[in-house]
Structure 1
Amino acid sequence: MTNADPQELAKFSDLAHRWWDPESEFRPLHQINPLRLDWIDQQANINGKRVVDVGCGGGILAESMARRGANVLGIDLADRPLKVAQLHAMESGVANLDYRSVSAEALAAEQPGQFDVVTCMEMLEHVPDPSSVVRACAQMAKPGGWIFFSTLNRNPKSFLFAIVGAEYLLKLLPKGTHEFARFIRPAELTRWAREADLSTTQMKGLEYNPITRRYWLSGDTSVNYMIACRKPAKA
């Protein structure tokens, strides 16, 4: 059984044609992308590195990492966003970037220990078994490699901000984008990382001001957050 929810795949496929419109439902992804790209690059120095972006969607992060000089493979199981990603990369003339329809678990079995950097951003809260994806990401990384995750914390504040606020009041995201029960506490994510033999090196929160419409990184992980992990180097 593939670790994917058909309803989640359909949800993002239906919006695929709007993925690269910075004023569409994907505006938040366009706005946060420079922040997460810089944060990943500061730690992993992605230029010339082999990178896999798990749950790449329409390719916003994958393409930006390729533009920074990384050799990027974007993977997803939603075919329409993948086609949008491929078309945009072709139209933009971005080299060193490829896309595949394959699960994280399948690619981990096929190419264990082959990637310098693994990114899995805004994806874990959309799959039935997020811990399986964490294990697969760890398996894909080379010894000493970097693994980055981002997701949403599960608490009353995140319900208020990420669902009531973002989806219903501010309409930053389409209604039904997120399911609160699938949000992941930092303690859960770091435990899964530890069980996959990864060490968590840094955690950052991502905050938003609805008045200025500005995002920034902070130490507040109560709603959106990202973690950086390392795989042990060979002894």
Structure 2
Amino acid sequence: MSQEHFNVDPTEIAKFSSLAHKWWDPDSEFKPLHDINPVRIDFIQQYAGIENQRILDVGCGGGILAEGLAAKGGHVTGIDLAEKPLKIARLHLLESGQKVDYQLKAVETLAAEQPESFDIVSCMEMLEHVPEPSSVIQACAQLAKPGGWVFFSTLNRTPKCYLLAVLGAEYVLGLLPRGTHDYARFIKPSELARMTRSAGLDTVEVAGMHYNPFSRAVTLNQDSSVNYLVACRKPA
């Protein structure tokens, strides 16, 4: 599939593809994703419920969130534009026994094909990796059924976030590969709110997510200065 027509950065695809074999190693560079996953799932569960819901995970990568949602009884589709992580995701289903429909597809393409098809759309830790996050948000909104839920998580463009998520996580602690994040692409909650509003979504909750890399504890609070989660609803 040609990626040139899609809202995708080939450098980002290559970056995550090179690490694909480590996706399900909880002590690898993906350790933070494994650690925050239960909190992300609980956040979705709290607002939308998961069991028997038709769910789309946008930018699913190797399937950590998608599988977690399937394990809670969701009927999950995962889409990504990186082939290697998708192959890893499909292989892991053989190990876990979960059912997820993984597709190599752009969210904008799926939105044109299957508008208003999903009860829940999640797009976690992805917006800061694409050239046009507003296009992704618009497509997520299109894919949600009327009355459906759309969830985002991303990084705030603050000095504190740069210190913790870039310098700390990538260069000091080595939790993430150097170059994982481009600070210029981080998104302020006010900017995300503007984009979700333009897409016709109502913001219900913005929650800060605090990750302690030493204890590996994850908590939600009101401080959205670094990582934050957003719950949106599409008007019925």
TM over 0.5: yes
Determine what percentage of the aligned residue pairs are the same residue. Answer: 62
Corresponding letter in the other structure for 2:113: E
Across the aligned residues of Structure 1 and Structure 2, the Cα RMSD in angstroms comes to 0.8
Moved over 3 A (4+): none
Q: Which residue of 1 aligns with 2:36?
A: 32
Offset at residue 145 of structure 1 (A):
0.2
Q: Secondary structure at the match of 2:95?
A: helix
Q: Which runs of 5+ in 1 are unaligned?
A: none
Q: Which of 9, 18, 25 does residue 21 from structure 1 map onto?
A: 25
Q: Is the 8 A contact 2:36 2:211 kept in 1?
A: no
Q: Once the 2 structures are TM-superposed, how far is the Cα of residue 54 of structure 1 from its aligned partner?
A: 0.1
| Deviations, residues 161-212 of structure 1 (Å, cap 9, x unaligned) | 1100111111111100000000000000010000001000001111123443
Equivalent residue runs for 1:70-81 within 5 Å:
70-81=74-85
1:222 maps to 2:220: no
What is the match of residue 56 of structure 1?
Answer: 60
Distance 1:80 1:229 in 2: 30
Unaligned runs of 5+ in 2: none
Matched, 1:173 2:181: no
Name the CA distance, whole Å, in 2 between partners of 1:211 and 1:70: 32
Report the TM-score, using the length of structure 2 for normalisation.
0.97
The answer to whether the Cα contact below 8 Å between 2:154 and 2:228 also exists between their aligned partners in 1 is yes
In the aligned structure 1, how far is the partner of 2:52 from the partner of 2:122? 16
CA apart distance, 1:92: 1.5
Q: Secondary structure at the match of 2:40?
A: helix
- What is the deviation of 1:155? 1.2
1:185 corresponds to? 188
- Residue in structure 2 matched with residue 66 of structure 1 by the alignment: 70
Per the alignment, residue 122 of structure 2 pairs with 119
Aligned to 2:162: 159
- Whether 1:138 aligns to 2:141 is yes
CA contact (8 A) 2:35 2:216 kept: no
